[in-house]
Structure 1
Amino acid sequence: MRAFNAEMSKLFSLPSIWLACFIGAFAPAIFAGLDSLAEKEDIIAGVSTRLAEVGYVGLGFGVQGVIILGVLAVSSEYFIESSESGGGRQITTSLSAVPSRLHFLLAKAGAVTAISLLLCIMAIVTIVLSTKLILGEYAPTFEWFRLFGAVCYWVFTALIAFGLTVLTKNSIIPLTILMINSSVVSFSILLAKVTTLAVYLPDRAGIDMFMSMSDRYHTPLTGGLVMFTWVVVLMIVAAVVFHRRDVAS
């Protein structure tokens, strides 16, 4: 518990973490609001085919906040400190305080999970308020099981970002890949044109937990299990690599 509290404290001491929190908590409401405005006339007229998705779109795009969170949680350990501080890295100090590398990773992953959970709940609240403000009585009814799926999607995505950063010891690669994949173009959608196996990629399977798309392949439960499997495998690989790695390298 002491290690977990220490990791929470370290995360909230990072200036960039507040940007991640802002994006995670409020960007989804902006996307949901814009989507509500675009669909408002059709919804009021009763001809919209996307009423059930209004709001959930924001949860799909707003996941960038927890991606930044997952990457920062690890990459911040490898920042080189100023010469006044000895020019070392935080990771050396962290492992001196928590000698067990597995315990260290679990505490850090726990902190990422807790903050991701909190951010998603805040995002859901702001989305509900945003859609109610714009659509009024025509606002969609948010179903608890889909919201739960969105929460899982956010937490799993944050842990995937976390695991990839442990493997790369670098923020640029996982941040670039995951941010582009979640906002600009989905690599799994492109790969799906080549092979149906692409529907088992984590982002594609995970989105089925809360979005009812026309090309939906998985049930929410199956999509969640597929994404969870990816998370477990990636975290195991990351833990093994981190255990064997020379921190100074």
Structure 2
Amino acid sequence: MVNLIRAELAKLLGLPTAWIGLAVGSVVAPLLAVLNAGAVRAAIAAGRYEFSADLAYSSIQIVMLGGLILGVVTVSSEYTPTSDDAPGARQITTTLLAEPRRCRLLAAKAIVLVLVVAVQGTVTAVVTLLVVEHEHGGTYPPAEPARVAGAVLEWVLLSLLAYALTLIFRNGIVTLTLLVVNSGVVSVSWLLMKVTPLAAYLPDVVGKHMYLSDLGDVRIHPVVAGAVLLGWVVGLLVLAARLFERREA
């Protein structure tokens, strides 16, 4: 299993798209904290910034897109044609020849994804918190380890969610489009929350209750939020694994 994990790690880190995900997830949050510092200081001074405790975490949640990209390319790279001359030839064929035990293969990919995203999320969260502390000093409350852990946990779980959805659709473009549009353009979940508070338990919303304060009228305990998001991820991973087992490739 260790050799398989090493092989999957080398495969993931050898993908140019994966490095885009790493760059987006690692650089953008601290950069946003620096670029927005002046406007945020003015808003705090004028009393227009109520939730200063969310300063760093608001930047962190934006760049979780990096984790989503990693979750998608972990699978989509297997289904990308390996040659223009043979559009039906895909990496997944070779991968399954090398490791025919499909559940073991999926587990190795998931372990690699969790390790990479956990390291990325932890480093980015710590650096962003330090930048915000430097920029805003006494106006920013000290970092809370539980909130940092909640942000990193959501980052990891959302990457696994993207991983599961890509396995289900077998198409990275479809999965990434759905996730990006829903998280950055028109969030169906946030719209549904105007209709029913139950929409707060949808996977792209519930995890934010682990570390953000400003989430409207619905309040979910961080532990409950983490358990609900974990339930979504486990359910989708089980479905994805069953489909992967039954398909030819």
Give the one of 229, 243, 246 matched to 1:244.
Answer: 246
Greater shift, 218-227 or 79-88, is seen at 79-88
Alignment of 1:109-128 (within 5 A): 109-128=110-129
Identity score, percent: 38
Q: Report Cα offsets for 1:28-81 as digits up to 9, x if no partner.
A: 123333443322134357774121111110111010000000000000001111
Unaligned 5+ segments in structure 1 are: none
Greater shift, 20-29 or 187-196, is seen at 187-196
The aligned amino acid for 2:212 is M
Q: Report Cα offsets for 1:135-180 as digits up to 9, x if no partner.
A: 2343331110011100110001000000000000001111011112
Alignment of 1:213-228 (within 5 A): 213=214, 214-228=216-230
CA 1:194–1:15 in 2, change beyond 3 Å: closer, same or farther? same
Alignment of 1:1-249 (within 5 A): 1-44=2-45, 48-82=49-83, 88-213=89-214, 214-247=216-249
Contact (CA 8 Å) 2:211, 2:222: kept in 1 or not?
A: yes
Quick one: distance in 2 between partners of 1:237 and 1:142?
37
Q: Match of 1:80, SS?
A: coil
Quick one: distance in 2 between partners of 1:158 and 1:245?
23
Contact (CA 8 Å) 1:30, 1:58: kept in 2 or not?
A: no
Quick one: distance in 1 between partners of 2:78 and 2:36?
38
Greater shift, 34-43 or 73-82, is seen at 34-43
Q: What displacement does 1:197 show?
A: 2.3
The aligned amino acid for 1:29 is P
CA 1:42–1:196 in 2, change beyond 3 Å: closer, same or farther? closer
Contact (CA 8 Å) 2:168, 2:243: kept in 1 or not?
A: yes
Number of aligned positions between the proteins: 247
Normalized against structure 1, the TM-score is what? 0.92
Q: Match of 1:208, SS?
A: helix
Contact (CA 8 Å) 1:63, 1:182: kept in 2 or not?
A: no
Q: Report Cα offsets for 1:3-48 as digits up to 9, x if no partner.
A: 1111100001001111110101111123333443322134357774
Q: Match of 2:121, SS?
A: helix
